[in-house]
Amino acid sequence: MLPADNHVHSEWSYDTFGRTSMVAACQRAAELGLPSIAFTEHLDFADYGEGDAIAATGITPGWWDAMRPLDVAGYLASIEECRHRFPSLRILTGVEAGEPHLFAGSVRAVLAAGSFDRVLGSLHALAWEGRMVNSSRLLKLLTPAEAMRRYLAEVVKVIEGSGAFEILAHLDYPRRQWPDSAGPFAESDFEEEYRAVLRALAGSGRVLEINTFSPVCSVTLLHWWRQEGGTAVSFGSDAHVADRVADKFGEAVAVAEAAGFGRGRSLTDFWRC
């Protein structure tokens, strides 16, 4: 049996653009025999809210025009409908909080509006010349290596500056857009920066995601995670279409097992070493 998919997006995430639905994702999960699926919808903010640290910086938020608030009531109603339609599948609620260290007040307000089983923390955008920009742009504005180092340094700030999330999603997000002109991406080139992230995450007692929309991390990186004190991993497809639910999970499981991680106390638990 494949592990639970703890990172899936449905029509309630602003960037799926009508390409998927919660029902379709549940059907796919049931076909694959997954023990559970978590709908971790995007929680990003285009403006300041009360208690948001970014308000004091003068940095302009809203790095993408497509960003929309999460309709919590509609989302939770859809969850209940799917739980009724798919009684054999455990369906978990969740959000993926973007830049939670900068939007603590806004994140807190949404989390107070419902019950969420899985809260992911992620970093998509960084400050550049007074505004937030998608980190992939920095690969063009800086040397790719400098952009990656700046990104990983900011992930440490995400961990140290937010206690709202349990799972760190796609720790090396810009790697998805790594330019061919920079040569093959090598985790070893950034070992010190990766270890700083993993050390901070382990020290906070949280969970590292093996994200399969990104290039799947290496066994070596998961060894670094263990060496820095990490004890648990979560599997996340980051699916934005139903066909990608649990995509590449066979590869991810093989990597996790080779690094010494195995199934937890239940089929829906995180994998642990």
pLDDT digits (tens, 9 = 90+) for 43-81: 999 999 999 999 999 999 999 999 999 999 999 999 999
User: b/e per residue, 28-67, with b = 16+ CB within 10 A?
Assistant: bbeeeebbbbbbbbbbbbeebbeebbbbeeebbbebeeeb
Question: What SS3 state is found at 163?
Answer: coil
Residue keyed to tokens 């991810």: 252
For the segment 234-261, the average pLDDT, to the nearest whole number, is 98
173: phi then psi, degrees, rounded to nearest 5: -45, -45
pLDDT at 37: 98
pLDDT at 208: 99
Dihedral (C-alpha) 239, 241, 242, 248: value to the nearest 10 degrees?
-40
Percent above pLDDT 90 for the chain:
100
The Cα-based distances of 238 to 34, 50, 129, 223, 229 in angstroms read 15, 29, 29, 23, 25
pLDDT at 188: 98
Task: List CB contacts of 196: < 8 A, sequence separation 6 or more.
Answer: 152, 153, 156
pLDDT at 227: 98
For the segment 116-121, the average pLDDT, to the nearest whole number, is 98
For the segment 23-45, the average pLDDT, to the nearest whole number, is 98
The CATH number given to 5-272 is: 3.20.20.140
pLDDT at 95: 98
pLDDT at 254: 98
For the segment 205-232, the average pLDDT, to the nearest whole number, is 98
pLDDT at 231: 98
The Cα-based distances of 267 to 3, 33, 159, 230, 237 in angstroms read 7, 11, 27, 20, 17
pLDDT at 190: 98
pLDDT at 82: 98
pLDDT at 154: 98
Measured CA to CA, the distance from residue 243 to residue 26 in angstroms comes to 11
* 250: confidence class by pLDDT, cuts 50, 70, 90: very high
Supply the DSSP string of 26-84, one letter for each residue. HHHHHHHT-SEEEEEEEE--SS--TT-GGGGTT-B----TT-----HHHHHHHHHHHHH
* 7: confidence class by pLDDT, cuts 50, 70, 90: very high
Domain range summary for the chain, segments of one domain joined by +: 5-272
For the segment 205-234, the average pLDDT, to the nearest whole number, is 98
Tens-place pLDDT, residues 162-194: 999 999 999 999 999 999 999 999 999 999 999
- Show the tokens assigned to 12: 């309630």
Give the amino acid at 265.
R
pLDDT at 10: 98
* 6: confidence class by pLDDT, cuts 50, 70, 90: very high
List strands edge to edge, sheet with 118-122.
5-8, 36-43, 90-98, 118-122, 167-168, 207-211, 232-236, 271-272
